[in-house]
Amino acid sequence: MKNLKKMDKEVYAALAGEIKRQAEGLEMIASENYVSTAVLEALGTVFTNKYSEGYPGNRYYGGQEYTDIVETIAINRAKKIFGCDHVNVQPHSGAPANMIAYSAVLKPGDKILGMDLSHGGHLTHGHPVTLSAKIYKFVRYKTDTKGKIDYDALEKLALKEKPQMILAGFSAYTRNLNYKRFRQIANKVNAILMIDIAHIAGLIAGKAIPNPVPYFDIVTTTTHKTLRGPRGGMIMCKAKYATAIDKSAFPGFQGGPHMNNIAAKAVAFSEALKPEFKKYAQQIILNAKTLEKELKSYGFKIMFGGTDNHMVLVDVFGSKGVTGKEAEIALDKIGITINKNMIPDDSRSPMDPSGVRIGTPALTTRGMKEAEVKKIANWINAAIENHKDKKVLDIIRKEVIKLCKKFPLNR
């Protein structure tokens, strides 16, 4: 980065600080991960200079022979990973991917049945503060008292509301979904069936959990998180929706695609097709299950009864009398990054909720396994129980740095 250092010392200093922060800390935000050096290299290429409105073989500008190649590679690799009919790799991120999908097949005012945010859904699944909620009418379903989706109740709600779309997927739900049951319910009310797999795409790619693609009409995802690609989005769909999805993405919602990002997506998809990615995806879940077990042993209440994927949602306020915000700050001080999070029907506010969301993808990327997760769970408990004790937090911080040095980034 010698050119950056010479040209802009302020930005260079911030970047150097971030490199140090990531290297000496444990990233446990469930939606974050570390990309490979190859993905980073692809992001920083001359593809960033190129405007490429349109699609391979049908662009609005000239000079597209290499952009066409790289986008086609990305599309074909995604098809191979997920077994889908059609792929659009141009969405800039997950939220735009969802908006593109909605607008492709729905009219303003149409009804969508989506998961409630406090029960694990995402903002773009119908929260009132979002643009999508101003365009479409969202009806939100919740988990039951045991923390599971009640599919019989979901069916009754669908029969009552008769939505044009049923939306599956989540941001902080930790159980596997019953894809077949979603399909049956959608068929009963003649609704388009869509799923947002942003969090679990890498687990699906690694065959650690079932693939929803055969059951759903439209599948959206981010390409970061468990998939370990650059920050971006992607839409997969059945052939009958391909033209509508592509037109909705461009020119409907976005202009020129970010070709450097698409090149990096292609690289990440290549990595996801390698045999070792299966072991990686399986280890993410093993680490999450270990985290669940250890935190339970320290008296934490785990929401939804446990986890089937890469994260746990923990009621820290109900368990330890510490708010989600207080827990996040305390863990930041020891070098463990997590995020405060609402729990089902949380009585506290979103900016200072009762829970925290903790994930294992980035730890697993660094090569950590069950033994390391057990140590980390102990540190999490100690930091939360002693969140006002600077001396204790400083001691744990030194231990975290020691562990991080044993597992360097970009493995």
Neighbouring residues of 382: CB distance < 8 A, sequence distance ≥ 6: 392, 396
Is the per-residue pLDDT at 410 higher than 80?
Answer: no
Q: Which residues of 277-314 are buried (b: 16+ CB within 10 A; e: fewer)?
A: beebbbbbbebbbbbbbbbbeeebbbbbeebbbbbbbb
pLDDT at 128: 84
pLDDT at 377: 98
CA–CA distance, 173 with 288 (Å, rounded to integer) = 13
Is the per-residue pLDDT at 341 higher than 80?
Answer: yes
Told to judge if 53 belongs to the known catalytic residues of this protein, a careful annotator would answer yes
Q: Under a CB-based contact definition with an 8 Å cutoff, are residues 85 and 242 in contact?
A: yes
pLDDT (tens digit, 9 = 90+) per residue, 246-300? 999 999 999 999 999 999 999 999 999 999 999 999 999 999 999 999 999 999 9
Question: Crossing angle, helix 179-189 and helix 151-161, to 10 degrees?
Answer: 20
What is the token pair recorded at 410?
Answer: 């970009």
Is the per-residue pLDDT at 411 higher than 70?
Answer: no
93, 109, 266 from 39: Cα distances, Å = 16, 40, 9
pLDDT (tens digit, 9 = 90+) per residue, 110-138? 999 999 877 787 888 878 888 999 999 99
Told to judge if 365 belongs to the known catalytic residues of this protein, a careful annotator would answer no
CA–CA distance, 77 with 10 (Å, rounded to integer) = 39
Residue type, 296: K
Catalytic option among 225, 265, 289, 357:
225
CA–CA distance, 289 with 407 (Å, rounded to integer) = 21
Told to judge if 51 belongs to the known catalytic residues of this protein, a careful annotator would answer yes
Counting residues of the chain whose pLDDT is more than 90, the rounded percentage is 92
pLDDT at 123: 80
Told to judge if 21 belongs to the known catalytic residues of this protein, a careful annotator would answer no
Mean pLDDT of 332-340: 98
Told to judge if 231 belongs to the known catalytic residues of this protein, a careful annotator would answer yes
pLDDT (tens digit, 9 = 90+) per residue, 303-313? 999 999 999 99
Catalytic option among 24, 32, 53, 155:
53
| Reported confidence tier of residue 367, pLDDT bands at 50, 70, 90 | very high
The pTM for the full model equals: 0.96
Q: Show the domains of the chain with their CATH numbers.
A: 39-272 (3.40.640.10), 277-406 (3.90.1150.10)
Told to judge if 179 belongs to the known catalytic residues of this protein, a careful annotator would answer no
Name the E strands within 177-267: 192-196, 218-222, 233-237
